[in-house]
Amino acid sequence: MDERYETYLRDESRLTGRADEIVFIDSQQQLQSLMDRARRCGQPVTAQGARTGITGAAVPMGGLIANLSPMTAITNLTFDQTGYQVRLQAGVTLESLQNALQACRFDTSLLDRESLEVLEQLRRDTPHFFPPDPTEKTATIGGLFASGARGVSGLRYGDSRDWIEAITVQLASGDVWQIPRGRYLFSEKGCPLPDDGRLPISPDGPGELYAPAPGGDLIDLFAASEGMLGIVTELTVQLCAEDHEMWGVLFFFTRQELAIRFSAWVSQAMSEGPIPLSALEFFDRATLDSIAELKRYSSQMRTIPDPPYDADAAVYVEISGDDAGQVEQALTVVLDLFSQCGGREEDSAAANGRAEMERLRLFRHGAPESVNIQIDRLRLLDRSVVKMAADMCTPMDRLTDFTDMMRQTLRSSELSGCCFGHIGECHFHTNLLCKNEAEMERARELLNSWGQWAVQAGGRSVVENGVGKLKRELLAATLPPQTLDHLRAIKRALDPGGLLNTGNMLL
């Protein structure tokens, strides 16, 4: 492939692949033509968007690259009893969609008369937004869907699939399927398909990632499947009205166990009463140090709070709703729980309203960004170094055991790493910072052991961000063999030639 396009051989995982050719897809017809050529020549096709993923899912292992980043049109707006929906191409970025919604400005040359009427209604209405909010705002909506991304507000809003009402999918066969939510549902007999075929369901039950149980939707089969089953080219996304009252508070703790206890208490209070909690995020000491280092040379990060000198961990809480009294009461409860955990008033920072809260959200977004910068520094010394990360969850009653186990085994491994993430869902992002291949092998063993611990405790070894090429061993080590066999059967049924996104997820 032309060396001018070498950047398209890698993603944020720092894994680098190879390809014969890249095609920048700007229409469904062009993608169909590319798939026809791939079938005739037996060439694999790797679908890409903005390449912001961290597992190597968009990294080609030969053949052709179908980069969908030129597909940036917003083509339709509708309104019904469920609210507003926007039809868009897969290359639209999260940032561009957010900006369009905030300003209520769209390319009206692409909209029909009914869409223009809906746009005028939206301008008069309460501001609306697309709830999934992963760290990287330049990620494409198609990429969010393909990787199962959730984001900081996943505690309240779930993951990206929960906000997708219809998709257009290009199959390896050349067929193009239009799949509206609710039309193709799984039952004990499998799932009907748009081509009048039927996809069988495993007698052993659903898989961890993309094998829906009876009652599940065909859309959810393609969610988080990383382009292995088909290439999603268009999506209809559901919008949500913004809350009138929004608060964000960042709390620092002198001991990690106090941060864990506080998080568990806040989660318990939420389950017992109407606390409108939108986010509950955790940062360990190594992550705080990493963010502080980033702040030193990033002008954008200079507005974020400085951790106290003795901070061992931090927790970010976000509360929002339309009932001002309820939000104020919830904020009082959270502040009281912080005090009960020994928290000091000077060790917290609060923000009210979306604009002010963005300053605290920058703190959360700085966690993965600062880790990636450290990985890039390590790669200057050894180009074989790639991102060694996992995102795992555990039941709430095993939360303390899980975090203690990770901290102790990380220390004994003599590896360094950062842990942060969605503690309200008992879901952590762990990044191990390796200097060479020997340390990466130790890191793989450690991550596999953590994944097995999480699964045995009743949790999951992979939650979001996909499996890609870097977590395949972790998935194979933590899923039952019959589930893996079922996932392979799904792959063969929809892509019998094995052309799409070769090397993702399954060994």
Kindly list the domain boundaries of the chain, sorted by start residue.
Answer: 1-241+468-507, 245-456
Distances (CA, A) of 507 to 191, 230, 379, 404: 25, 19, 26, 31
Provide the pairing of β-strand 21-24 with 64-67. Answer: parallel
User: Which residue in 314, 422, 309, 319 sits closest to 363, CA to CA?
Assistant: 314
How much is the average pLDDT of 326-334? 91
Residue type (1 letter), 416: S
Task: Determine the average pLDDT of the residues in 88-108.
Answer: 96
Can you tell me the mean pLDDT for 54-69?
96
Measured CA to CA, the distance from residue 438 to residue 302 in angstroms comes to 36
- Lookup: tokens for 271: 């389950």
206 has a pLDDT exceeding 50 = no
Give the model's pLDDT for residue 300: 82
Query: Judging by beta carbons within 10 Å of its beta carbon (0-12, 13-18, 19+), is residue 339 exposed, middle or buried?
Result: exposed
Q: Catalogue the E-assigned strands of 70-220.
A: 74-80, 83-89, 128-129, 164-170, 176-180, 191-192, 198-199
The pLDDT assigned to 443 comes to 95
Coil, strand or helix at 166: strand
Chain-centre distance for alpha carbon 458:
21
Contacts for 285 with CB less than 8 Å, ≥ 6 apart: 256, 311, 312, 313
- Residue identified by tokens 């002010």 is 356
- Helices 256-272 and 324-340: angle between axes, nearest 10 degrees: 150
Please count the other Cβ atoms lying within 10 Å of the Cβ belonging to residue 355.
9
Give the pLDDT band of residue 463 (cuts 50, 70, 90).
Answer: confident
* Alpha carbons 405 and 246: distance in angstroms, whole number: 35
Output the CA–CA distances (angstroms, integers) from residue 452 to 106, 138, 200, 445, in the order listed: 47, 33, 28, 11
- At residue 228, the pLDDT reads 94
Above 50 in pLDDT, residue 439?
A: yes
Cα distance between residue 1 and residue 19, in whole Å: 6
For residue 191, pLDDT over 70 is answered with yes
Mean pLDDT over the full length of the chain = 92
Tell me the angle at which helices 256-272 and 399-413 cross, rounded to the nearest 10 degrees. 160
CATH 3.40.462.40 fits 245-456, yes or no: yes
Amino acid code (one letter) for 349: A
Fold (topology level) of 1-241+468-507: 3.30.465
pLDDT of residue 208: 43
pLDDT in tens, 261-313: 999 999 988 877 766 899 999 999 999 999 999 988 888 888 888 899 999 99
Backbone φ and ψ of 447, nearest 5°:
-65, -40
Tokens of 296: 């030193």
Residue given tokens 């239009």 in the structure block = 178
3-state secondary structure of 37: helix
Exposure string over 436-446, b if 16+ CB within 10 A, otherwise e? eeebbebbbeb
Report the alpha-carbon distance of residue 218 to residue 464 in Å, rounded. 19
Q: For Cα atoms 422, 428, 430, give the angle at the middle one, nearest 5 degrees.
A: 140
Q: What is the pLDDT of residue 495?
A: 95
The residue among 460, 500, 494, 405 whose CA lies nearest residue 191 is 494
- The answer to whether the predicted template modeling score (pTM) of the entire model surpasses 0.85 is yes
Is the pLDDT assigned to residue 101 strictly greater than 70? yes
**Dist CA 205 CA 61 (whole Å):** 31
Distance (Å, whole) CA 286 – CA 417: 7
Q: What are phi and psi of 226, to 5 degrees?
A: 60, 35
Say how many C-beta atoms besides its own lie within 10 A of residue 77's C-beta.
Answer: 23
For the chain, what percent of residues have pLDDT higher than 70? 97
Q: Which amino acid is at 237?
A: V
The amino acid at residue 428 is F
Residue 213 pLDDT grade (very low, low, confident, very high; cuts 50, 70, 90): confident
* Residue 204 pLDDT: 53
Nearest to 116 by CA among 73, 72, 90, 78: 78
Please state the φ and ψ torsions of residue 317, each to the nearest 5 degrees. -120, 135
Q: What is the DSSP letter of 470?
A: T
pLDDT of 207 > 50? The answer is no
Asked if residue 51 lies in contact with residue 65, where contact means CB atoms within 8 angstroms, the answer is: no
Say if residue 173's pLDDT is above 90: yes
**Residue 438: partners with Cβ closer than 8 Å, 6 or more residues away:** none
Residue 257 has pLDDT above 70, yes or no: yes
The token duo for 104 is 């209520």
> Does residue 482 contact residue 242 with C-beta atoms inside 8 Å?
no
Over 60: is that where the pLDDT of 110 sits? yes
> In the predicted model, what is the mean pLDDT of residues 369-392?
92
